[in-house]
A and B are shown apart, each in its own frame.
Chain A
Amino acid sequence: MSVESIDSKDNWSGISGNAGRFRLKDLFIPPQGQKVVPTSAGIILILIGLCLGLAAYNTENNILFAAFSVLLSAIIISGVICWANFKNLRWRIETGKTYRVGEEGEISLCLRNESNKFSVMCFRFDVELEEQGIVKPLYLAGRLGNGEEENLICRFTPRQRSVTQVKLDDVVSSFPFGFLSKHASGNCTKEITVWPARVDYTKLSSEGGGIYWQGSSSSEKGVTGELLNHRQYERGDAPKMINWKASARQGKLIVKQNALEKQNLYAIHVDPSSFLWGGNEIFERMCSFAASFAEDLFRLGRLENCSVEGVASIKIRRVVDLESFFDVVSRLQINRSINPIGDRRIHNSITFAPLEAGSVGAFLNGKQVAQA
């Protein structure tokens, strides 16, 4: 087991906060963000308790008083145990690096029982992905022993590209008897970026366009191209291009040089101006198309630069550069402040423009090379 890092505790949330101090007041007046609601069983129990109490007073029967006392005690103990159960639990959200529209992603809710003596039991966590409109319940079924940790996995499929707040909306427990349901706000938020969806598009053979492909794009990994030579490793080269045997023989890193390297490099330029993109639907299609196109070009090793009008220009050398471009596209909105500035052609620049029937075209030096 690895030794826990010193400052890992700082990320944890819980109803007692990091100090974890006991305040008697909290037992009677729930702090802000917390509430205790009787469940339907609890309401019935309270009503029965009232009836029993009434009967006990009217008959002076101590058997009824005894039953009334037990019911009352059960409600009190239910509240106290529920509070103690909550008090020892800490949670935090852990997210992955990449989320993409239409592809299943995972969020992990890490739980830790801070108590040295008692277990915590039975919780429901409502995880909300705000911009996605997704609320997923996660359950801690059974027991989390003293000092133990557990991860609850939330699987979801993002619906739209955005920067989404993953929020632990509500932490609920009806433990121990199910009479009272204690709710606490999760106080735990994390931001994730959902990249545009990968779309299929049609590549068109273009005279003098220089792009070698034909047919439809593929999401399969790997690059194609004839092996021409070996050369010395340069910063930014993909590790899978390294020829390890040759490197071992020569004592330095040697990479394979494909025919593709000799070919032309392209720049992708995205213009979110409102005069181009009238509606959200076609704009979303454009974003997905641009991201998919950029990804494919990167895989072919033929992407040099990605830029967004009025936002950013990113030199693409490594995967992280491409991911930065995806992040920018994820945040992209139709920009109504940019005015048309006429044709601003850059050499080997691929731009996007709407076509008829709601499709989007990719244009290289003014000539259409693909359509989605």
Chain B
Amino acid sequence: MENKSPKLSLKQYALLKWMLGAGMGLVSVSTVFNLSGYSYIPAIIAFTCISVSLFWPAGFARLPNIVWRVYAIGIIPLMAMDVIARDTVAALLNLNTWLIIYRALNHQKRREELQLVLLCLFLLIMTGILTASLLFGVQMFVFFGLAISFLVVSSITQCSSELDGESDKKDGWNAALVLSTFRILFRSRYLFTGTLIYCFLIGLSSLVFLVVPRVEVENKVTLFELKSNESLSGFSDNIRLGDVTSIKNDASIALRVDVNSSKGVPVDPYWRMLVLDTYQNGSFSVSNGLQDKLRNTMASPFNTVRYWPDKRFSQVPSREDRDRWTVFVEPGASRYLPIVGTFEHLTFSQLDKLFMAADIHSFALSKVSSKMFSFQLEGVDFSGKIEDYGLMSSVLYNSAERRKLLRSEELTYPVTLLQLPADKKARKIFSNTAKSIIGGDSLNALEFARRAVEFLGEKHDYSMDIELPSLEEAGVEDPVARWLNSDLDGHCEFFASSLVLMARSAGFPARVAVGYRGGEWNSYENYFMVRNADAHAWCEIYDGEGNWVRVDPTPGSSSVSDVRSVQQQAALGVTGSKAYLDSLKMLWYRRVVNFDEQAQREAALQLKDFLLAYIETAESWLTNAVEYFYRWIREPWGIGRIIYFTFLAVLLVVAICIQNRLTLNYKELIFATFRRGDPIRRKAGRILSRLDAVDKKDWSDAKRKILLDLQTLRYGAKERWPNARMTFKGSKQL
């Protein structure tokens, strides 16, 4: 009466192996689609071929060997062309993809199967390094599930094929075979065991990942990167009117900011990326002088001490106990770092790729990053003031020299900070408006800015949809002047540009700053989610005392830098499925991509705290329980109470008696529905395996009889079964 569970045949194993191999290939190739700025043609070809092979393996198996040889040789010129025409990294990715096609469609021997696994692994790791996205994390988990299944099936087929010979794919696999294979997989314990192994692998890998000691390396090796195209967000050196507003139409996340601050977080943070000084016909841009500053050798953070002796730039975080803002910038967002305020310490893993312009307190990478990058700020001051280090007073406050410079053909920085439109009519409009705001008073820059903001707020409302009056109607070419002269609503760029140009007309150096404003607080993981829709422009005005002060003339902006605690922010943050999904991304960045020595230390401390808290809770629970029991026993025992508890005790005894009369105990009865096979056979089997280790030589006949009864219950036909309850009861004597 053997009840063997179904087993897969060699052909079914071969089918399963083929499908797993193809699945592995598909997953690894699909990671290529995560990359931006990369030609997807090889990946699309690979995806198509492997998908076809998944459903029609016989087609590729019938190809003569010569085809594969030609293909293998053909990869060499393809690779050569790639290296010459493209980036080396892209060429390497392509080579890997071509090889995966070759191996995924043509693997028979154990060696070839391992080659397939390794090729897929290499492609996966390469794309992972290039993207570091959460999607890659998901793909990695799926890939490792498929890879271990593939290796297990490969081990089994290797053993089977030595016995029975190779299964031939040329026969093809029909739907019935596929169905029967999956039926066996689901009916037997293959799936359960496989899932168990997979979960064990993932658990152990996570543990190893957490405990592998991290060391901070100062001169770490830089990994390869794909050359990327333009910034996706649109923040560049030259921003025309409407550019920022067009960015606002994109609701995708641009950056996530992890805040670890006891000082609290600003209610309305400004993520300042770039400052634009020169103006021409509705377009603000970074002047050539400033761009040179961003590019020359002195722009390296290693020279920062010349400008900011109190600021530190490092590849490792400081040991100081202060607030930390970790910013994760999405791939392709911008090459400029969003800075929430002045800071004391900036940590960036690749300092050699960072450029800074001290004059404008702006930081940039040499190119737009194709993968997520992060940096950390410590000791952030989000008051909105940025210290200038001394250029302004010498040049711009000497009126004679200023006039002379402003008359020159091409303005250079810092004179560009006073630049007005070339059009005289436009200049007149700004100057008249500024005069009307000043009203003959003697105002400092900040007072002027306050009045100008009030003036703009009274005259214009906020609107994303603007139609400027025509040139003939307005009589002036400059779009900002046209808007200022009208009572039309406008968006942030109009407000900021108008204020800057009015301030300059009034003699106050001013500049436009662009970046993001605000962001949503994700309450699941406690961080800021800043979207492209939060793109914003505002202005900075020089206060004449060595500081650039942020002034945001757009209606609805707060001039006061309100601060909330992280707890308050968490209570007001967003929740919901989208926020939850995004929090997973943050978790990935925080716990995986950005997991460093400090995070490891923090994790260890958290674990310690958790254990201590757990012990403390358990201890207090135990103390309470003992105290409760003590109080309960000390309470006066009235007749009612005695009868009540006697009744409970009788109930308990009756329940135990009933239980003893049953063949199976309550646990076995409950679990019987979830377990396979007859519960009585299972119980007999369990008792028999317990008895295996017992020496039976001196057993009496009665004991041998019980043993035989147990064996009958375990293996015998049901018609011959003895009384199961009595047998189990008797087995307690054995």
Please give the residue numbers on chain A whose beta carbons come within 8 Å of chain B beta carbons, in ascending order.
1, 3-4, 6-7, 9, 18-20, 41, 44, 48, 52, 55, 57-70, 72-74, 76-77, 81, 114, 116, 118-119, 121-124, 137, 139-143, 145-148, 174-178
Contacts and interface: CB of A to CB of B under 8 A. Distances in A.
Given A57-B215, A70-B144, A63 B2 contact: no
Contacts of A1: 1-2, 715-716
Given A58-B221, A141-B164, A178-B158, A69 B209 contact: yes
B232 interface: no
B367 to A, nearest CB: 19
A58 B217 contact: yes
Contacts of B125: 52, 63-64, 67
A59 B225 CA distance: 13
Nearest to B150: A177
A62 B156 contact: no
A116 B686 contact: yes
B128 A177 contact: no
A41 B114 contact: yes
Interface residues of B, number: 72
A65 B209 CA distance: 7
A175 B197 CA distance: 12
Nearest to B128: A63
Given A3-B711, A6-B696, A41-B114, 14 more contacts: A20-B692, A59-B223, A62-B132, A66-B128, A69-B205, A70-B140, A73-B205, A119-B193, A121-B155, A122-B156, A139-B159, A148-B4, A175-B155, A176-B155
Contacts of A74: 148, 201
26 contacts: A6-B707, A18-B693, A44-B114, A44-B118, A58-B220, A59-B223, A60-B214, A62-B592, A63-B132, A63-B593, A65-B595, A67-B121, A70-B144, A77-B201, A119-B189, A119-B193, A121-B155, A122-B156, A139-B162, A141-B164, A142-B7, A143-B156, A145-B188, A148-B4, A175-B152, A178-B154
A81 B193 CA distance: 11
B596 A59 contact: no
A28 to B, nearest CB: 16
Contact of A139 (B163, B221, B593): B163
A147 B159 CA distance: 21
B200 interface: yes
A41 B158 CA distance: 13
Contacts of B124: 67
Given A4-B715, A7-B696, A69-B212, A64 B155 contact: no
A78 B148 CA distance: 10
Contacts of A58: 217, 220-221
B667 to A, nearest CB: 16
Interface of B is mostly: helix
Contact of B693 (A6, A20, A55, A67): A20
Interface of A is mostly: mixed
Interface string B107-149: 0001000100010010011001100100010001000100010
A57 B685 CA distance: 52
Nearest to B211: A69
Interface in B136-191: 136, 140, 144, 148, 151-152, 154-156, 158-160, 162-164, 188-190
A76 B197 CA distance: 12
A178 B158 CA distance: 10
B158 A72 contact: no
Given A175-B155, A176-B155, A73 B208 contact: yes
B204 interface: yes
Interface string B596-613: 100000000000000000
Contacts of B686: 116
Contact of B129 (A61, A70, A76, A114): A61
A4 B711 contact: yes
A68 B160 contact: no
Contact of A81 (B2, B154, B197, B594): B197
Nearest to B162: A139
B526 interface: no
Contact of A59 (B200, B206, B209, B222): B222
A118 B197 CA distance: 12
Contact of A68 (B189, B212, B685): B212
B570 interface: no
A73 B200 CA distance: 9
B163 A141 contact: yes
